[in-house]
Amino acid sequence: MTRLETRGAVIGYGDTTIVHGVDVAVPDGRITAIVGPNGCGKSTLLRALVRLLSPSQGTVLLDGEDIHRIPTREVARRVGLLPQSPIAPAGITVKELVARGRTPHQKVLRPWSAADEMAVTSALHSTALTSIQDAVVDELSGGQRQRAWIAMTLAQDTPLMILDEPTTYLDIAHQYDVMDLLHHLNVRQGRTIIMVVHDLHQAARYAHHVIAMRDGVVAAAGDPREVFTEDLIREVFALEARVIPDPVTGTPMVVPAHGPGGAR
Amino acid sequence: MRILRIGPLGISTHRRTFAVGLVLLAALAALLVFALMQGQSDISILDSIRAAVGISVGPPADFIVGQVRAPRALTAVLVGAMLGVSGAILQSLTRNPLASPDFIGISMGAGAGAVMTIWLIGATSLWVTAAGAIVGALATAALILALSWRRGIVPLRLILAGIGIGFVAQSLSQYALTRMDVHDAGNALGWLVGSVTGRTWTHVTVCAVILAALLPVVLWHARALRTMEMGDDAARALGVRVGLSRSILAVCSVLLAAGAVAVTGPIGFIALVAPAIALRLTRNAGVTLLPSALMGALLLLAADQVAQAMPATLQLPVGVFTAAVGAPYLMWLVWRASRGGPS
């Protein structure tokens, strides 16, 4: 089952083509991780999935319909996005920020409904931000700030959530904090989550489905246990690596095959 | 979020924003009445108000209040509001507190447009001058955009390009002044100073028409404006049609500034300062349009009262007094920015 897929999507900026005709299908109700080396087109693909970019050829289908034929606001009610570096307006409080996630549900003359209030309260609760909802976002720690942004995306109340490198710039404890949060949102609320991540270990632990990209094409897609092989890591990342089971979860763990100093 | 609700409609605002708005409105009303009463002839408060709204109370109030003080004060109020909103939009769109139409050359462009119109067509009517100012402002804005566009608006380039083009526009005005006949040049020069002296009901009407046409459009896009402050991607993902909303808002901002310049000549600093004060008073995160409008109206009306209260030997145009407030604020902003503080 998929609600979001691409068919032969060629995506780029201006004359530069970055993604060369990919077919991906995002499994419904699962966590999908897009991985790949820098510049492989994973963020570009992500942007096309949420309609920030339009493919020059091929299509992106949301619920079977060309996403570019669906009104902007309607897309925003089905797919939420946490961009890589969103800007928090100076002085905004956590609750105000989260409330902005309700934008696609609001009308000009009917600004705030009980449903809006409920979605915000529940988003604050799910992200454990209720106690600091009146704090100013600029003054939060990096981890709390990221949770506030995730809460904003949650309040948008979309069945599909797309996150562009949600753990970048966070320390290791906060990274796992965010990953656990996404896991809970997936399990408890049944949200479909699509994320770009750099850390293969995290991708293997948390994602049900992995899309590995290289040079603008999909090199492999599927269950992380099948995708993360030594051959694939060599092919995609040009890295000689061993893949061993994670001692805690049993998921594949990618370890470089050379020690410090390098084998090359 | 505390929301004010009136019947089935609602105004999405914080209680504090609403309270600040009410206080500003009350202060504005009080200052307006004061402005109607203040001057050489003593006219009672009731007669002033009656004369201002067109109820005849006999001479001299009918003329002094009805034809001189009321249009002058209302022009100040409406132009102040236009500048306040124009500046608020620009500062929000560029995410830069330094952006204001008089700083990035829009006002100079409007001025040049108006002067050229007076030169080529003559100062036939205020509507013609206003049209010239609007054409000048739009042309300037388009040029600034073309020069600063690099796959999107780059705020710093925009401001630098604006300052440069502002100077070009100013020299165009100067050139036109040297070329036109002496009578027209006198007219244009008097207008270029930036003043609300001697404004008539026609001026009030021009302002009212521009505001009535543009303010609803701006307010309709207020939520989009606030959402775009979070970055284009976030705004798009929240269902805002970023390109469309931004273009509409930018054009409205330019038109409001152009209209203001057409009516009073360039008056500096109101568009820069009013939104900033409104933001601090309401402690809002992000742009506040109506408080900015009220603040602009209040500032310009107050500045004009100070200008009028000066002894006759010191009669200066109102722009001098707005600069007296605005210049220190600008220096403070630059000082703070240079210390790397939040802006």
Chain A, nearest residue to B233 by Cα: A83
pLDDT category of residue B10 using cuts at 50, 70 and 90: very low
- Residue in B220, B239, B285 nearest the CB of A96: B285
Tell me the residues of B at the A interface, defined by beta carbons under 8 Å apart.
1, 3, 8-12, 95, 220, 223, 226-227, 229-231, 233-234, 236-241, 283-286, 342-343
Domain A2-85+158-256: what homologous superfamily?
Answer: P-loop containing nucleotide triphosphate hydrolases (3.40.50.300)
Distance CA A54, CA A62 (A): 13
pLDDT of residue B7: 40
Residue A47, chain B, CB below 8 Å: the answer is: yes
- Asked whether this complex has an ipTM greater than 0.85, the answer is yes
Under an 8 A CB cutoff, do A73 and B10 touch?
A: no
Which sign does the torsion angle of CA B186, B192, B198, B201 carry?
positive
Best residue of B233, B289, B336 to probe chain A, by most A CBs closer than 10 Å: B233
Q: How confident is the model at residue B159 (pLDDT cuts 50, 70, 90)?
A: confident
Percent of chain A clearing pLDDT 90 (strictly above): 73
A82-99 pLDDT per residue, tens: 988 888 988 899 999 999
**CATH match for B67-337 among 1.10.3470.10, 3.30.300.130, 3.30.930.10, 1.20.1260.10:** 1.10.3470.10
pLDDT above 90 covers what percent of chain B? 34
Judge whether B245 and B228 are in contact, CB under 8 Å: yes
Tell me which residue in A74, A90, A96 faces B1 most closely, judged by beta carbons.
A96
Measure the CA–CA gap between B24 and B3, rounded to whole angstroms: 19
State the pLDDT confidence band at B341, using cuts at 50, 70 and 90.
Answer: very low
> Which DSSP string corresponds to A69-124?
GS-HHHHHHHEEEE-SS--PPTT-BHHHHHHHTTGGG-BTTB---HHHHHHHHHHH
Q: What is the dihedral of CA A40, A41, A43, A49, to 10 degrees?
A: -150
Q: What is the pLDDT of residues B270-295, one digit of tens each?
A: 999 999 889 888 887 778 899 999 99
B229 to chain A: which residues are within 8 Å by CB?
A: 87, 89
Asked if the Cβ–Cβ distance from B1 to A120 is below 8 Å, we say yes
Name the pLDDT band for A220 (thresholds 50, 70, 90).
very high
Q: What is this structure's pTM?
A: 0.87
List CB contacts (< 8 A) between A100 and chain B.
226-227, 230, 238
Rounded distance, CA B285 to CA B279, Å? 8
So where are chain B's domains? Answer: 67-337
Q: Is A96 on the interface with B (CB under 8 A)?
A: yes
Extents of the domains making up chain A: 2-85+158-256
- A:B CB pairs within 8 Å: 90
Q: Where are the alpha helices (DSSP H) in chain B?
A: 15-37, 45-52, 61-63, 70-94, 106-120, 126-148, 155-179, 182-192, 201-220, 222-228, 232-237, 242-264, 270-282, 289-309, 318-338
